Amino acid sequence: SDTLSVKMKDTIVAAKAIVPKTWNTDPLSPAKAAFYSAILPGLGQAYNKSYWKIPIVYLAIGIPTYLYFKNDNELQRYRTAYKQRLDGRTDDEFYQGRTDGNPRLSTDALRRAQDLYQRNKEMSMLFAIGFYALNIIEANVDAHLKQFNVDENLAIEPFMQQDIYRVSYVGLSLTYNF
């Protein structure tokens, strides 16, 4: 009988398994960001953690809103004076301080001023609505871009090569690694 025995172990050495990268994305996050910005301007930017954009949103919506009310006040001022002139009164604010009976602004100038402030008021409202919509769109796009894959597997990089005659070639290189 054989005194030397060899014991064999049944072992398998496995290489590390290749695990594909998984992205932790929330498919509803762009919709949530847009919804939050629609409810309260700037809230979608806060949801996206783009806090520096919030003051810009409030300035973009606030300035046209302020100008809307300022133009509305001026419109009412000129409209009141115009109506008083059409009634034949000479006690509006544009007659004050004039003793010769000639107003600082004529009736036609009051009508033109009304048209100007009415147009400015409407434009201010359009800008405020436009910036409100832009706020919603920006929150949605920013949330989409936060999900964008930015790694080294897909890259556009500057490319520079010299040949044997010391002539340089410059270009862009599109790299896609599997």
pLDDT along the chain (178 residues), means of 10: 62 63 66 96 95 97 98 96 88 74 85 97 98 97 84 72 78 72
The token duo for 71 is 């133009």
The residues near 45 (Cβ < 8 Å, ≥ 6 apart) are 33, 37, 51, 53, 54, 57, 135, 138, 139, 142
User: In angstroms, rounded to a whole number, what is the distance separating the alpha carbons of residues 98 and 14?
Assistant: 102
pLDDT of 104 reads 84
Q: CA end-to-end span of the chain, whole Å?
A: 58
Coil/strand/helix, residue 3:
coil
pLDDT of res. 91: 80
pLDDT at 10: 66
pLDDT on residue 13: 62
pLDDT of residue 8: 63
Q: What is the pLDDT of residue 159?
A: 76
pLDDT of residue 1: 53
What predicted TM-score, i.e. pTM, was given to this entire model? 0.69
Calculate the alpha carbon distances from 178 to 10, 21, 151, 156, 174 in Å. Answer: 35, 12, 12, 15, 13
CA distance 147 to 53: 19
Given this model, what pLDDT does residue 99 score?
A: 65
